[in-house]
Amino acid sequence: MFAKAAVAVSMLAWSVSASAQVVAPVPLPSMVPPPAVAADPAYKLTLELSNGGAVTIQLRPDLAPNHVARMQLLVRRGFYDGLIFHRVMPGFMAQGGDPQGTGNGGSELPDLKAEITPMPFLRGTLGAARSQELDSANSQFFIMFAPSPDLNNRYTVMGRVISGMDAVDKIAPGEPPPEPTKIVRARLGG
């Protein structure tokens, strides 16, 4: 009887140990960018908005190198200048980057393969907008007004607002807004 109990306890301990290893959490990437990224002005995106505000975003090539490179390329081409925030949902997010202003457009460049990381979607997170198709991000992006765990591990995180969140909060709401907020100018260098 004692031997059976010892075997049962031993099996239970192994089972708990094995299951603990299976469900071990994946470590989150650091909320702080690597020092080389933080120091490089090419990874600071500033959006000057028609509401009079400016938003500076720390881009994270360590999380999404292809998405960040695409955004940098489009910024250098002046692609975002004059575009509107076409989908703005208070308490959720503000979406822009569509030259058609409808949510159906993108750049002439090919769509990007998703770069999903365990980085959570918090207030101020910059994400890559896409259709239901996982690998369909192109030029559109969104900035979170509030945390949204439903997006975690499903969308690409490209960066985070480091100043000007008050200007994000003032982006005109609507889908599309009656008087949309425009990106007057997008530039790199902070």
Looking at the domain assignment, is residue 24 inside a domain? Answer: no
Looking at the domain assignment, is residue 8 inside a domain? Answer: no
pLDDT above 80 (res 2): no
Strand partners, 182: 84
Predicted local confidence at residue 54, as pLDDT: 98
Looking at the domain assignment, is residue 28 inside a domain? Answer: no
Predicted local confidence at residue 24, as pLDDT: 55
Rounded-to-integer distance, Cα 63 and Cα 15, Å: 35
How large is the average pLDDT for residues 85-113?
Answer: 97
Identify the DSSP state of 112.
B
Domain count of the fold of the chain: 1
Percent of the chain with pLDDT over 90: 83
Predicted local confidence at residue 5, as pLDDT: 42
Query: CA-CA distances (angstroms) from residue 146 to 82, 85, 118, 126, 168?
Result: 26, 17, 17, 12, 11
- The range of the structural domain enclosing residue 180 comes to 33-188
Predicted local confidence at residue 186, as pLDDT: 98
pLDDT, tens digit, for every residue of 19-37? 445 555 656 678 899 999 9
CATH number of the domain where residue 128 is located: 2.40.100.10
Which of 123, 63, 64 has the alpha carbon at shortest distance from 93?
Answer: 123
pLDDT, tens digit, for every residue of 40-66? 999 999 999 999 999 999 999 999 999
Looking at the domain assignment, is residue 94 inside a domain? Answer: yes
| pTM of the predicted model as reported, rounded to 2 decimal places | 0.85
Alpha helix segments (H runs only) across the chain? 2-22, 35-39, 65-76, 165-169
Mean pLDDT of the chain: 89
Predicted local confidence at residue 30, as pLDDT: 80
pLDDT above 70 (res 11): no
pLDDT above 50 (res 163): yes
pLDDT above 50 (res 70): yes
Predicted local confidence at residue 22, as pLDDT: 53
Predicted local confidence at residue 25, as pLDDT: 61
